[in-house]
Each structure stands twice: as C-alpha cells, then as structure tokens.
Structure 1
Amino acid sequence: MALSLIENLQIQARNTSQEDIDKLCNGIVGNLLLPDKSGECIASLRQLFFILQASHIEPNISDDVVAGLVSIVSKGFKGGQARLCLLCQQIVAELLPEDYPLSSSSEPETDKANLLSLNLIQGEKLGCLVEKVPLALRWILNDDDFESQQKAFFFLIAVVMLHSNLLTDDSMKRTSDQMASWLMNASLYQAQNPYTMSLFKKDQTNIVNEVDGTPSRNFFTVLNVGQYYTDDQLMNITCFSLLYKWLYYAHALVITPSTGDSDVRETRKKVAKAERIFGILVNRTVEYCLRLLDQCERKPKAPSDMDLQQCCLMEAVTILNKVCEIDDSQVPKIFQEVRRLFSRLSQDTANARILLNILQFFINHSATVVHDPQEAYNLYFHKLLTRGYGDPALAFDTVMFIRNNMEFLCHKANLLAVYFPNILKILAWNPRTYMTEFCDILPAMMSSTTSMEVFHALLDLPCMTASLEVMEKSKKEDVNTPISITSDTEPSSSFDAFYNTYYRPMFNFFCRVEGGHGDTINKLNLFHVILEDMKQHARVKVCYQAVPVLLRIWFSVILEEAGSEFCSQLIPVLLERSALLYGIPQYTADVQKIMSESAIQLFRTFPELVTAQRMDIMDFLTSVRNISKREEFFTSFVWAVGEFSSSAYHSDCNADVISKFFEVLEAVTYEFSSVMFQSETEGLSLSVKVLSVLMSAIAKLASRCQDLIPRAILCLTKVAKQPQQQANSLDTDDQEALVTRAQELINLLKLPNFSSVVLNPSPEIETGRWHRDSTCLPIILRGIHQILCQDALMQS
C-alpha cells in the first residue's frame, strides 16, 4: 500500500507541467526571505526538490530562484535556518551539476564564515573559488585562529580533489610546507584542563604519553596519548588524516602530461617540479611515518588503542607507498623498514589487511631494490586468505587489490592462476556482493593450463558455497560433539558427511587452496546427493544465480583466445558435465542453456571438432536417455553433426565417417519417434524440436553420401506415418509440422543433385554474395518460379 502510494506521487511529480513549476518557483521567491513564511517556504522547497528528483528531464528553473537559494546557503547554518539552508543546498546541488546557466549578478558576497559552508561545485559555478584560494592560504598560516586554519585546510583539500586546476605551483608548495610544519612542530605538552576550578594550579604531568603509557621523548604524532590536546596537536592529527589525499591529488596535478617537449625533458621537468613542491613535506612525512611504525611496536596500555595502531599502520604504509612514487630516492630507506614490518606481522592473521597494503608497496617498488617478494605473495594468498575469506573487510580489500593489480598478478606473479580456488571462496561466500568485480577478474584466472579447471570450479561453485557453510558450521559446534571417523554408516546430512572419512576428502577438494589438483572429483553425483539438504540455503541460492553470468564470460574468453586443440578437449567435458550438475532445477536449466548456446558457437568457430571428437559425440547421441532433461543440449549436438559432418570442414570426414554418424542418428530417430508418439504425457514441445532437427540432420548426411538416400527416405517416411498410425498426445499443429517437414525433406532427397545444393549451402551464403551473384541459387529459383507462374497464366 505504501509503495503504491509513493509510486503514484512520483508519477504525479514526474508529470508536473512547466507552468505549475513556474507558479511554485514564484511562490518560493516571494516567501524565501520572509521569516513568518518559513514553514510555507520549506513546504514549497520540499515539493520542488521532489519534482527535481522524480523528473527524467531538467525543468527550467529561473535565475531568480537559484540566486535566492544560493543566497540562503551562503549565510550558513545559523539560528533556526538550518533546515531551510540544508534544503536549499540540496536543491542547488541537484541543479548545478547539469551545467545550469547562472548570471554573474547571482554571485554571493561571501566572508570567512560562509566560504566553507558553500558547496565547492556551487563555488566553481559561481566563479568564487579562484579568489578564495589565496584567502585560504593566508588562513592556514594563521596559528592564532585554529578554527579558521582547520576549515581553510579542509577547503584546500577539497579544492585539490575536485578542482585542482585552480591551484598554482606556488599555492601547492606553500600548503605542503605548512603541512610539513604541522607534522613536525606540534607541542609535546598537553593542553590545560578547560574544566579546572583553579586557574593557578599547574598540572605536573602535562607531557603526552606513548601508547604504552610512558612519557614521550620524541615529536608528537597521532599515536601520542593525552587527556587534552592543544590546537597544534589537533592540526597535527588533522594533517596526518588528510596527508594521503593531498599527496595523491596534488602529485597527480604535478605529473599531468603537457606538450611541447620531448619525453626525457618533460620527465626531468616533472621530477624537478615535484621535488620543489613536495621536497620538505616528503622528508617530514617519511620521518613521521617511520616513527609511527616504531610506536606501533609498543604494547598499548588501553586495549582500544590497538585498533588505532592498526589503522595508523595501514595509513602509514599507504602514505609511504605514495612518497616513494613521488621521490624514488626514498625507496631503499623505506623498503628496509617496510620489509621488517612485514616480517613482524606476517605470523598473525589479524594483520592481514595491513599485509595487503605492504604487498601493494612490494608490487610498486620491489624492482627498484631488486627484491623478489614472491614468498610474501604466496603467504597471503595461501595462508592468510584461507583463514580470512569470510571477513567482510578483508574480502573487500582483497578483491580491490586483485582488481587494481590484475596485470601484475596474472602475468608476472602468476598468482591468479595458482590460487584461483582460494580467491573464488570470496565469491562463493559473498556471491551477491562481488559479482561485478569477479566478472573482471575471471578472465585473468584463465590460462592454457587452468582454464579447464576454472570451468569445473565455476560449475561447482554452489557446491563450494555449501561446503564452506558446512565447514563454518563445524567450527562453531562444541568441541565435545562426537565425531564419526568411519565410513560404515550412511550420513543423514551434509554436516554428518563432513565428519565421515569417506566424504571428508570431497569437502577438502572443493575448499582447496591451490589449483592444479585435478579438474573435478570422482563420484561427483554422490557428493551432490549428500549436499541435498543445502539446496535451499540462502547463500547457495544466490550463488547458483551468479554461475550463468560467469559461464558466459568464460566461454567468450575461450572463443576469443583458445585454439582448436583446447576446444577439442572441451567437447567431452561438456558432454559429461551437462549431466553432472548440482540438482537445483533452475540452476541446471540455466547452465544447460548456456552450454547449448556455447556448443553451437564452438562448432561454428571450429567445425572440424565434429569429426575430431566423433567417438565421444557418437557415444553421447547413441542413447535416447541423454535427451531426458537435456533436450536443448542434445539438439545442439545433433544440429552440429548435420551441419559440419562434411569433407569441406575436415579432410578425415569421408563417406565412412558420414555413414557412421548416419547410423547413429537413424537409430536414435527410430527409437525416439517410437517413444514420443506412444507417450501419453504432456509438454513435449521440445521433443518435437528434437525430432525435427534429427530428421534434418539425417537428410543433410544423406545428401553428402548418396548411398544413404534410400535409407533416409525410408526413415523419414516412417516418421511421417507414425502420427497417423498411432494415437498420441501430440498437438495437431505439431503433428502437421512434423509430417510437412518430413515430406519436404523426402522431396528434396528424391532429387540428389538438387538436395546436395539446398541442404549443403556454401559458407559464402552468409556473406550475402549468393544474393547478388547472377548464377546463385536464390536468383535461379526466383527466375524458375517466375517462368512457371507465367506459363500457368498463359495456360489459364
């Protein structure tokens, strides 16, 4: 009820006419600056904001309205105008990103109080940012006004992130020098207690402490503990919090490519420019971050400070990574400390997120010091990820790390091809969260040696999810729970099977860490049976919905990159795995549909596969039982046999091979038509399609080996007569379609030379040449048809 009401309101707002909007805007202009009309004005503004949100096109809002809204925003959140100001700010933010034209007369006159409350996007539209940057630079140098200094620093950080073109080299250097001063020159003494009752009492223990409680003997950092902080200490903390943002965006502005000079000269100029702007800040940053690394080795006095140490470590390593990018001469010194940090933290799984930042540092700078951190990579993706795939924060960081370093991890470190089962655990455990990211990561996991195993892993992804659920459940059970160690008794659930020595290796296989241990397991159907109770688990249901998307990506990569040899190996796997799927009906149907479509694409791309894999294909087509629940898949292989069993595609496809294919399809057609026409069940529309494709394939094979034509005509004749001779549940239209199709093929086969052309057109027919060449079959048939029609008219 509530949702339908909201939808009706949205439709009504979306259909608001421009005339109604103009009336609403006129009322807003009239009431905007009247205190006694504030309630009515807020109601009108809410209505305008709702219209802007609901509308698919930008309404025409007058300049007077926008100027009034900006005027309210520029006055800041004062008194009882907070709601009005916030609402105006949201409306202006909704309008301005669409390049709404504003006249110069609407520029507000801002002062120190309202400059930072005005949105930066609005500021650029109004043209006020350029003249405010120098003012902000003067404020950050004013140590007597902490509030203005802090706001000005926030303002400059926002400018460099959103509108870096407004900053000059001089303004960036002045800001960097001031940040260096904030980092190193903060006081070591605590601020006086503002709540003390005695103005003349002095605190005897006013030096800030280290996290372990000892008095500090070095410069102040964010990890120093005090009861009250001075303004310069607060600026120190603020500066460190925003240091990476400044280095990242300001350095990006410095290295922005320019034109006119050669690459060598341009590079030298950029290096000199970066050194001039960031030289002092870089040195101070290195000192500051290395001191943080030392402070993090201290055992915190308060347990809550341990989290602060973890956060500071992550930020410090990230900043040092950027510093080495700005000034590569710092790499040897920093690399030694970061490597020592990795050795200290690598044994504790709780530090996994920090280690991921260290791995990023190794990726970026190991080549500079000729260091091979392969052991560190293996430690993380083998040991740490195995334990932490279920941690939401670690999973997110890992996926982003892989996505940002995909080329290195794929081609240089070869980690994705080795540890893809462990990485897939993140998707299996969070299938809804990381679907988009794994669509990008999946191709990087595939190589000439791992693609087949990745294919099996994707098909078994719901089994991996179910196995992980069972294993996690087992960890939560009481240690005193009796555990079965024999395989004599049949398990009653997947949880019991996990403790059974016969089934435990199956669970271990699906939860393996590395690839290369085999494509899949024996008795996979048995493992599906013991996981029967996990089919309706919420995580498993979401996981199986992700598999078809990834399978399409897998097949697209194979069709684009793989060769005929790999695809030849893939055909038997498709035949086997189409029947070995986790027994979820919708999942099975989706996967088989993708397999069917992909098999057709494989045969179109490599038509020689039909002959090369004829033994496996014949074994598959021999049994009518393979049609059950796999009609679409079965039909695709029948079509491929009829389409590509020709010497035109493979030199080994001689008359003997064609005869063997014909015998298989002939026997299947007789058996299948007999079963189908005797069936009393309903819903056989797909079976009609299978029979139709079988008849077409038989006719095509016979047209290529004319000795088979009498047998083909006999087979088609019997199929055509069966609906008339036997009572069956087929629809009348289906019966008529089958009879008509059979008769058409019989008529074609009675003219062998004609049928060989019609049923086996050249591949050039798809290029369109056949429809333009004067000797092509379509034009000849069209000409004969016209002649016959003229003769009929003359005779009548």
Structure 2
Amino acid sequence: MYSHGSESLIRQAREIQESELNKFYSRLIKLLQGKELGHETVDSLQRLQLCTYVGEMAAVDCESVWNLVFGRFPAELFNDHFLAHELLRFLRLNLESLQLRVPQYTHSFPNLLKLLAWDSPALVDDFVDLLPSLVTTGTAVELLHTLLDLPCLSATLVLQLRSVCLPIADPGGRGLLSLDAFRNPSFRGLFLFLLRTEAGSGDTIDRLSTLHELLAEAADWPRVVQCAQTVPVLLHIFFNTVITVADEKLLAHLILVMLERSSLLLNIPKYCREIHRVFSCHLLRLCKLHPSLVVDQSHELLEFAGATANVYSKEEIYTHVVWVLGEYLSVSCDSRCSVSLITSCFEALEAVLFEITSSAPAPGAVCAAPRVITTLMSALAKLASRSHDLIPR
C-alpha cells in the first residue's frame, strides 16, 4: 500500500514522540503556506505519507495539512508542470491510504481537475488511474457535470492568467470578449463556480448556456481543444465505475443528466459528437442492466424522443433513446408499464416519423438519417405488438 520511501518514514515514525510530531506538522504547514511554492514543496509531498499514518498514532491535526494540499496546490500550481506531476504522482502512490484516511480527497476533484484542464496531454494518464477513486454515490452527479464542463474550465484558467497579465483596456482594441466577461461582475459567479476548490456547492451552473455563449471564442483555442479530446476517455471510465457503486435511483438521475447535457455543451462540433456517442453507448448499457429505468424515466425519455429537432441535432443519442423505448417499454421488463404508457409513446414516435417523412426537406435543409427512420419504424412495430388497439395502426 505504501511506497518504499514511505515505509522507511513510517518505521521512523513509530519512535517519534507526540511533541516531535507537532513540530513536524508545524514546519510542514509553514512550508505549504509560504508565499512562493518552490521545489521544496516536492520534498514536503514525499513526506506527506507520514501524515496519514502518524495522524492515527497521536492527536495531531492532519486536516490543515490536507486542506492546503488539496486546496492551495491545484488552485495555485495548475500551470506548474513539474509540481503538478509530483502531486499526481504522490496521489497515485498513496491512493488507497488517501481514500481510507483523508475525506478531503474525494471532494477535491473540482480543484484537482484544474491540473488536467491546463495540461491534458501530459496528465491524462494520471487521471485515468485516479478517476475511479473519485466516483462515489455522493460525488457522481457533480463529477459528471464537472467532466462535461472541463473545456470551459480550461478556457477559464486561460482567462484567469490573462486577466492578471493583460491591461484592462487594450489600446489596440483587440481585447477578448470572453476576457471582458471574465472581468464583468455580472458574470463573475459563473466563472467562480468553475474555479471552486471542492465539491458540494451544486451540480452545475444554472446559466450554463450563457457561459457557453461567453466562451464561444475559446472553442478553437489549442489548450481547450486538447482538453475536450480527453473528456470522452474519462467519461467511459466514469460510467464503467459508477455502475459498480450506484443504485437505480442514482442511475436514473444520471440518465436525466445525459439527456439534459446533450444540448448543453461548449460548441466544439467534434466534441459534441463524441459526447453524444459516449452517452448513447452508456444509455444502452444502463438500460440493459436495469430495464426498469426506462419506465422510471419514461416522461423525460418520451419528451426527448418527441422533439423533432433532436432528430437532426442529436442523431446518435436520439436513435438510441428511441431504441430503448421500443425495446424495454414492456410489461415483461417492468410490471408498471401500462397500456396507456405504451400508447402515449407510440403516438409520440408516430408523430415524429410522420413529420420527418411526410414532406421533402426545404432546399439546403438536412434530411433525417435513414438509421433514425428505421429505428423509429422498428420501435413502433414493437410497441404496437404489445397493445391490441395499436396493431391495426
């Protein structure tokens, strides 16, 4: 469980008196609170494993140390590549111990993800290893939103640094609109939420669409684009982990998040398509594992499937929502599935199919994909077979 160097420190710790432990913590806290965090910080990280052990042996205040490590380090050192690497290395080496003994760890993900948002290519492997340990029943919903907001966080970190370095008034008139928004008190709350240091202040931002409009020009910034490329990878890991810890109530909530967030993403076309593909994959998986989820969330699923606009803007996820409705909206999957529910679903899907096939599209308009049409027809046939009143239709 411990690294070789930590085991040596722990052996020494058994012989340390409580007064010496207090001195050690005092020195460590003083170092972590220093105005400039240099490479001495790395040495303190290497000694931090001692904290998780000695805190059990003596009445020593570990909390203040961990608050600095998970609070100040990521917030102030997100753009220091060397120290970011050392912090993540420390977390990986001592992951099991941190999960057991340091409650701040799992709630620090909004802060820790700043490291990834700033330097995604270099740190994605670290977060592939760390992410499963951050997924709990208490953090899952907020963590999912945070992962989807990661490109916005990347852009906000860039703006935070530029706000310090650039003058408020650019004589050349070439200022960034997003930077003006970052400095505008009216929008300050949106950016402060992204820059929060710990979980628990809310799932996501109420005015998320407004934030995306403010950050529209950041959609092609290289750092933001690179960050967006890592999100689908992390989402697969998230969903693969959450099904091992979540109950059906939490999984139902996650389905609602997927439906809602499918239209609330930073407008990077390839990013949106990849997120829809990930959502589609795991929607099918969740419903296959727990078919009753389709009845639980039938209202929201029907509302999504009944919106014709989704046929064109969210083809991937729309197709899969229609498929799960046709496949699992059945009394054989859930005894709560009534004839009236099947009928209302049939009528909603029938109306969409009629609308997209009854007339030729306007010049320049996109036609509905053949896969969507065939999936709708297949779902209607399945639903009709479960009701005598629908068979003639």
Alignment: residue pair count: 385
Q: Which residue of 1 aligns with 2:96?
A: 407
Evaluate the alpha carbon distance shift between residue 350 and residue 690 of structure 1 in structure 2; reply closer, same or farther with a 3 A threshold: same
For structure 2, the 5+ residue unaligned runs are none
Check the 8 A contact 2:322/2:376 in 1, yes or no: yes
Q: Which residue of 2 aligns with 1:570?
A: 254
Indicate which of 596, 605, 622 corresponds to 2:280: 596
Q: Is the 8 A contact 1:416 1:444 kept in 2?
A: no
> Aligned pair 1:702/2:384, yes or no?
yes
1:476 aligns with 2:165: yes
Alignment partner of 2:320 out of 621, 632, 636: 636
CA distance in structure 1 between the aligned counterparts of 2:228 and 2:383, rounded to whole angstroms? 39
What does residue range 168-567 of structure 1 map to in structure 2 within 5 Å? 322-325=8-11, 328-330=14-16, 332=18, 334-351=20-37, 352-478=41-167, 481-482=168-169, 493-567=177-251
Counterpart CA distance in 2 for 1:610 and 1:473 is: 47
Q: Which whole-Å CA distance do the structure 2 matches of 1:688 and 1:331 have between them?
A: 74
Counterpart of 1:662 (choices 336, 343, 346) is: 346
- Cα distance change, pair 334–560 in 1 and its aligned pair in 2 (3 A): same
Q: Percent of aligned pairs with the same residue?
A: 33
Q: How far did residue 349 of structure 1 move?
A: 4.2
**2: CA distance, partners of 1:647 / 1:337:** 67
The partner residue of 1:623 within 304, 307, 323 is 307
Deviation at 1:674, TM superposition (A): 2.0
d(CA) in 1 for partners of 2:253 and 2:320?
18
User: Matches of 2:13 and 2:131 in 1, distance apart?
Assistant: 35
Query: 1:393 Cα shift?
Result: 2.1
Instruction: Call closer, same or farther: CA 1:323–1:592 in 2, change over 3 Å.
Output: closer
Q: Is the 8 A contact 1:421 1:512 kept in 2?
A: yes
CA contact (8 A) 1:349 1:384 kept: no
Cα gap change, 1:682 to 1:369, in 2 (>3 Å): same
- The aligned amino acid for 2:202 is G
Do 1:461 and 1:547's aligned partners in 2 also have CA atoms closer than 8 Å?
Answer: yes
**Conserved 8 A contact 1:422-1:513:** yes
Whichever residue aligns with residue 391 of structure 2, its letter is I
How far apart are the structure 1 equivalents of 2:9 and 2:322?
Answer: 63
Q: Aligned partners of 1:344 and 1:569: how far apart in 2?
A: 43
Deviations 1:650-673 (CA, angstroms, capped at 9, x unpaired): 121011111111111111111121
User: What is the TM-score normalised by the length of structure 2?
Assistant: 0.91
Q: What is the CA distance between 1:474 and its match in structure 2?
A: 0.8
Aligned 8 A contact 2:78 2:114 in 1: yes
Matches of 1:624 and 1:682, distance apart in 2 = 14
Query: Given residue 296 of structure 2, which amino acid in structure 1 is its aligned partner?
Result: A
Residues 59-70 of structure 1 correspond to what in structure 2 (within 5 A)?
A: none
Q: Which of these two proteins has the greater Rg computed from alpha carbons?
A: 1
Q: CA RMSD in A?
A: 2.3
**Where in structure 1 are there 5+ consecutive unaligned residues?**
1-247, 253-317, 484-490, 712-796
Q: Provide the C-alpha distance between the structure 2 equivalents of 1:506 and 1:401, rounded to a whole number of angstroms.
A: 31
Q: In 1, distance between residues paired with 2:13 and 2:392?
A: 83
For the Cα contact (< 8 Å) 1:331–1:365, is it kept in 2?
A: no
Contact map agreement 1:428 1:462 (CA 8 A) in 2: yes
- Residues 1:495 and 1:678: Cα distance change in structure 2 (over 3 Å): closer
For residue 415 of structure 1, give the secondary structure of its aligned residue in structure 2.
coil
Q: Give the aligned residue type for 2:207.
A: K
| TM-score relative to the length of structure 1 | 0.46
Cα distance in structure 2, aligned partners of 1:647 and 1:355? 60
- For 2:201 and 2:25, locate their aligned partners in 1 and report how far apart those are by CA, in whole Å: 32
Distance in 1 of aligned mates of 2:13 and 2:224: 49
Please give the alpha-carbon distance, in whole angstroms, between the structure 2 residues aligned to 1:588 and 1:579. 9
Q: Which residue of 2 aligns with 1:97?
A: none
Distance in 1 between residues matched to 2:118 and 2:35, nearest whole Å: 19
Shift of 1:451: 0.6
* Residue identity opposite 1:342 in structure 2: L
- 2:22 and 2:243 map into 1 onto residues whose CA distance is 46
Which residue, out of 671, 682, 687, partners 2:369? 687
Structure-2 change in CA distance of 1:590 and 1:362 (3 Å): same
